[in-house]
Chains A and B, each alone.
Chain A
Amino acid sequence: MKRLLMVQFLSLLLGWWLIIPAHSQDAETILSRIDSVLNAPKDRVMVEKMILIDKEGSQKIRRIKFYQKGSDLRLVRFLSPAEVRGVSFLRRAEDRLYLYLPAFRRIRRIASSIKNERFMGTDFTYEDMSQSEFSKDYFAERLPDQDGLFVLQLTPRPDADVSYGRLVVYADSTNYVYRKVEYYDREGRVQKELILSDIERVDGYWVPKTMEMRDLSRNHKTLLELLEVRFDQGLSNKFFTQRNLKRPER
């Protein structure tokens, strides 16, 4: 009986929590939910088509394979074109980023001072590539909702090693998947925007099928189209090492 009551109480509590109107949630809570949705799978393996589009509209197409475990470990491998096949990027922790150039069989570590440099001609910086949890680096402040989306303004925490002045994140108020991020520099000018679309549920996880990063000052954009995705494949931590970085994609 006591146990039943407990269950009823918990259900009530949960129900109450679930029916809390979205607008009454505070910004930090929303942000941590966005982070948890983002990092919900234990691991993921994705194959993506990367299209670089310059201001004249000309395109460069590449294929990459993306591995992620938890929120920290990431490995990106270029599959094509042949000339860059094998070029790989590894993130072991926020400040431990590596790049492998197969032609020289050399791994180079990326210094934190160049985290704001563009990653391999894309509109993503090394910092963007390594970003996994907004709440670690940013304070959140709630702005008025727009079209059913939460709007959060993120300002860097004092100790955060980030190069942006602030971010504005738009997230779906029903599933906490973020739809758009605006990146502002320290002078308050909007530099880039990331738009996520075609969001679908695959194996219980929300996945955007298309991501588009636009560099507004260069009038250049990078489009990522999801070709394959697999979740919870049991990737080991050893997969995300320098040794493995050098090994070719099997």
Chain B
Amino acid sequence: MLKIADFVILRRWLVIVAMIAITVFMALQAVKVSLNADFSTYLRQDDPLVQEYNRIGDIFGGNSVGVALLASTDVFTPENLKLLQELTEAFKNVEGIAYVTSLTNVVDFRKTDWGLEVGELFDGKSVHSPEAIAALRDYVMQKDRYVSRLISADGTTAAIVLRFQSGSVRAVNQFATSLRVKAAAEAVLAQRPLPETTRLYFGGMPFLIFNMTLLITENLTVLVPLMVLILILTLYLGFRHWAGVVFPMLVVAISVIWVVGLMGMTGLKMDLLTGIAPVILLALGSADGIHLLKRYFERRRLGESAREATRNVFKEMGTPILLTTVTTTVGFASLAISDFAVIQQFGLLTALGIVIALVVTLTLLPALLSFGVNPRPQKAREPASLRFGETLGRFVYRRKMALIVAAVAVVIVAAFALPRVEKDVDWTLCLQKGSDPFHAEMLLREKFGGSLPIQILVDGDLRDPVTLKMMREIERRIEVVPGVSKSQSIASIIAEMNEVMNDRYTVPEDRRGVSNLWFLIEGREMMEQLVSRQETEALLQAKLNTWHTAFLVAAVDSIDQLLAPYQKPLVAISLNALPPQAKRRLLAIRRRQMITDLKLDLRRHGLEIPAEDLEEVVEKALNPGAVDGISAKLLDAAYAYLTGPEAEVELAGAAARRISQAITRSLTVDEIPDSAAIRDVVLRLAPHLDSEDAGWLAASLTAVLRDRLAELRLQPALSQLRNLLPNDRRKNADLWRDVKSTLWQANETILIAGAGQLAQALPDVENLPLRKVSIRVVQSGLAPVLNRMEEELTPTQVESLVITMVLVIILLAFIFRSFAGGVLAVVPISLTILINFAVMGYLGIGLDSFTAMIASVAIGLGIDTDIHFISRLRDEMKKSRDALTALQRTLNTTGISIIINALAVGLGFLVLLAAGGQHIRRFGGLTAMTIFVSALFTLTVLPSLLLWIKPKFLQQVAGTEVEESEETSAGLGVAPAKS
């Protein structure tokens, strides 16, 4: 160390010039650093989950969803609707936005007098008149697909859903895209100002990150200078000398510039976590400088020349400084084990910054100090600092056992709080309460079922009704998971079209039915977001009403559990092709399925009906018994068809009446009309028809009658269920739609069940005409990615802490040549970390990527102080046999440095309490607390333990050094104490 100091002092101009040149170069590189606000990149890109997330982004045009919200007293005014339309159009042209959906361009399935109509819901030209607007409102508000997706249930907020391009191929900078979206909105608003009561907000993940990034940038630009100011002030008050301010700050400034410069050179991007690295370096980088300078002044006061003092200081302190750097670096570098790319980067860059700070401390500082910095002349009277050291030293010396007992008590109290620390991040806390982005998230949560997309990837034959029916089942099941709502997929789109066309919200049973409906929406943008180009993969989406990670983890786990049965082989079997006994057994499976589904339907709508009542309803659906007036109703249906324009042949009214009567006379609720029999009736009563025409007519008539009969069969069950529902829910269209679709299973002829379940019901199942269906269902999207981040966070932190602690103990044990020394040195830090987590537990502060960093900072800073303290104490013990004197001297020298350092850095972190984002406030407050607590423990608990245990490495008698000790004592004005 001395050689380095000599080398530097000899070539001090070279060192200074080189340092300036490198710093200027690095500053130029630093401006190249750009921001990375894309969450998915925060995990390692080779993670299969991230790869799947990116793949989905590529297939479906993006998987990150932002929302522009137009909030007003009523969205349904000509001005607001026009604005909605113009914003929608404007966003479509924004680079980086794959799809835009709002009320003004959403695909609508409308029932008209002419049947199912597929078109865009909103035609800007036709919504000026109050009548047209009222009609539009009435229509929109009864559509489940729009309410809470594109319009709030109270009609006050409209959403424009923006799908951001993402994925590995089409990844775009979401921050830049968010900026462009906002610019596009501003361009529209410049032409068409917002109506007085209307506000425009932006929410959802991309905007959340956008706003968090802005807020962090704001914090860095406003609060960091303030932190620096406080650091400067405290340093000045501590040293009362310009050098006490300039030198530590120089070390920090240069290391920050170098680190950011190296990021610029290597193309690394600044992210949300790396953004706080400069703040950490501010705290860690200044410590060694403070200790060093303090010792330098001590030496100078003893009359040493600048050169001598510099040499001696580096001789004495080189090793502790090197040691503190190694331990702190290990602490941060150990974060590299994380699967979190963002934590890895943060850990490694901070570690690099600390090493750079060491390099600067060991080169620039001796070079500058060798020019001679004169300490402030010692005042005649004893300074307060000396009285402090003596008083505190005496207190610790006398009350060491009490202090140890107090520390044990603290440990016990803290231990109780540890289980209360939740691994929970509420990402919205990153936003400033009351700000527009915060309001947007709250609006999304309260009125739109949240903004976090749940995505389930379904792999299979998508035109197969079995696949689609399974998707519908999954949709219905996941909506029972707390916080999950508004599921949507190609299956629900097909079901909705079927409902408009055939009055039942179900997937048609045959492939042609699916294909016919599919045909009507083929090629639409909506389809690109739901189905892959090759039609082999579909995305099932829902919304999660939270950004609380604990809640999110629970939801992701529940969904995974729900999906588990679909991973097993499924079979579809046609009931009509079975012998009666087998059919009966399978109907028992259907009965159970229907009861479960009905329960889920009711639970989704917040209703609970006793199981035996539901069993009765299901029984009624499967075996309706007699239905009032069935013949008359079927007769009407047949006659209406035969005399309508769609009938394949034109029949006179009388002939149509006769045929209708003949066909329906003998029908019962269980008898399915047969096409061949109907054709015979038609030919008998209208002999002029040719047989082929009669055949076509009969086939259509059979379909009409089957359909009508199926409807009629459900009436008794539906009536019974209606009587079980509370009065105010009997007319709820959504509830009715759901229960009817469940009961409709009674009319279906295909049964889908797990292969195992079927084998149990029918031992000879292999001989039956069944069809095996393979689908693959995987939860994907952002939710599992965030879930993974959560899973990674705590183990990483714990591992990192353990690794650091072990390494630190080994290092210290090696340096002090004492295992006890190593262990004792980490006691204050361990206590500090424990208190930090205890406070988090008691205050309900969740463990997130920011609060998790605090332990690393605590170790980094705490080890510094402890090593400096122990080193000094050991030196002092060498010089004086008297433990109290040694302690008092240590407290008066290193102790003061520790206090100056803790005050400077701790007060600096307290500035973050004024930050916009709540998470930064918490981070600032907790870090400041740990810094103060750590210093307190180092100055009280650590000496108490050392004095109590009296480890060997402190008990060396050094008679030859008495002289120096006296010198030192004289310089410090502390008289050897009488023991």
Contact = CB atoms under 8 A, between A and B. Distances in A.
Contacts of B699: 105
B112 A87 contact: no
B584 interface: no
Contacts of B112: 109, 111
A246 B696 contact: yes
A83 B648 contact: no
Given A103-B515, A120-B522, A58 B646 contact: no
A83 B522 CA distance: 13
Contact of A121 (B523, B649, B650): B523
Contacts of A246: 646, 648, 696, 700
B463 A83 contact: yes
Contacts of A54: 533
Nearest to A60: B522
B115 A106 contact: yes
Interface stretch (B116-124, B143-151, B734-742, B886-894): B116-124
Contacts of A122: 523
A83 to B, nearest CB: 4
Nearest to B647: A243
A52 B700 CA distance: 32
Contact of B114 (A84, A101, A111): A111
A203 to B, nearest CB: 31
Interface string A216-231: 0000100000000000
B512 interface: yes
B519 A104 contact: no
A58 B536 CA distance: 14
A105 B703 contact: yes
B119 A52 contact: no
A157 interface: no
Nearest to B126: A113
A58 B522 contact: no
A156 B843 CA distance: 70
B410 interface: no
A97 B286 CA distance: 80
B577 interface: no
A7 interface: no
B699 to A, nearest CB: 8
A220 B523 CA distance: 9
Interface in A69-113: 83-84, 87, 101-111, 113
A84 B519 contact: yes
Contact of B510 (A103, A111, A121): A103
A242 B646 CA distance: 6
B767 interface: no
A147 interface: no
A117 interface: yes
A242 B645 contact: yes
Contacts of A243: 645-650
Contacts of B137: none
Interface string A104-136: 111111110110011011100000000000000
A56 interface: yes
Interface string B490-534: 000000000001100000101111011101101110000000011
Contacts of B524: 118, 121
A102 B512 contact: yes
Contact of B516 (A58, A104, A121): A104
Contacts of B508: 103-104
Q: Which of B513, B516, B534 has the most CB of A within 10 A?
A: B516
Contacts of A117: 118-120
B116 A108 contact: yes
A105 B703 CA distance: 8
B533 A106 contact: no
Contacts of B116: 108
Q: Which of A102, A121, A242 has the most CB of B within 10 A?
A: A121
Interface string B355-392: 00000000000000000000000000000000000000
Q: Which of A54, A102, A104, A120 has the most CB of B within 10 A?
A: A104
Contacts of B523: 52, 118, 121-122, 220
Contact of B513 (A104, A114, A120): A104
A103 B533 contact: no
A83 B117 contact: no
Nearest to A52: B523
A247 interface: yes
A241 B463 CA distance: 31
B123 A113 contact: yes
Q: Which of B118, B502, B519 has the most CB of A within 10 A?
A: B519
Contacts of A113: 119, 123
A241 B519 CA distance: 22
B704 interface: yes
Given A83-B463, A121-B519, A58 B696 contact: no
Contacts of B650: 243
A84 B649 CA distance: 24
B510 to A, nearest CB: 7
B700 A105 contact: yes
A121 B513 contact: no
Contact of A56 (B511, B533, B645, B700): B533
Contacts of A241: 645
Interface in A17-76: 52, 54, 56, 58
Contacts of B647: 243
A242 B114 CA distance: 13
Nearest to A215: B523
A56 to B, nearest CB: 6
A224 to B, nearest CB: 15
B704 A105 contact: yes
A182 B523 CA distance: 21
Nearest to A108: B115
B192 to A, nearest CB: 16
A102 B516 contact: yes
Contacts of A114: 117-120
Q: Which of B120, B502, B646, B703 has the most CB of A within 10 A?
A: B646
Contacts of A220: 523
Given A83-B515, A102-B516, A107 B502 contact: no
B114 A83 contact: no
A125 to B, nearest CB: 11
A162 to B, nearest CB: 13
A105 B699 CA distance: 9
Nearest to B702: A105
Interface in B865-888: none
A120 B115 contact: no
A84 B516 contact: yes
B427 to A, nearest CB: 35
Interface in B625-655: 645-650
A103 B516 contact: yes
A94 to B, nearest CB: 16
B196 to A, nearest CB: 29
B162 to A, nearest CB: 18
Contacts of B520: 101, 120
Given A54-B533, A103-B516, A83 B501 contact: no
Given A105-B700, A118-B523, A110 B117 contact: yes
A64 to B, nearest CB: 12
A111 B110 CA distance: 11
B346 to A, nearest CB: 39
A54 B519 CA distance: 16
Contact of A120 (B117, B519, B533): B519
Contacts of B646: 106-107, 242-243, 246
21 contacts: A52-B523, A54-B533, A83-B512, A101-B516, A101-B517, A101-B520, A102-B512, A102-B516, A103-B517, A105-B703, A105-B704, A107-B115, A107-B645, A109-B114, A117-B118, A117-B119, A120-B520, A121-B519, A243-B646, A247-B696, A248-B696
Which 9 residue pairs are nearest across A and B when measured between Cβ atoms?
Answer: A108-B115, A121-B522, A109-B114, A121-B523, A114-B119, A83-B515, A103-B512, A103-B516, A103-B513
Given A103-B510, A111-B119, 9 more contacts: A83-B463, A101-B516, A102-B512, A105-B699, A109-B112, A110-B117, A113-B123, A118-B523, A122-B523
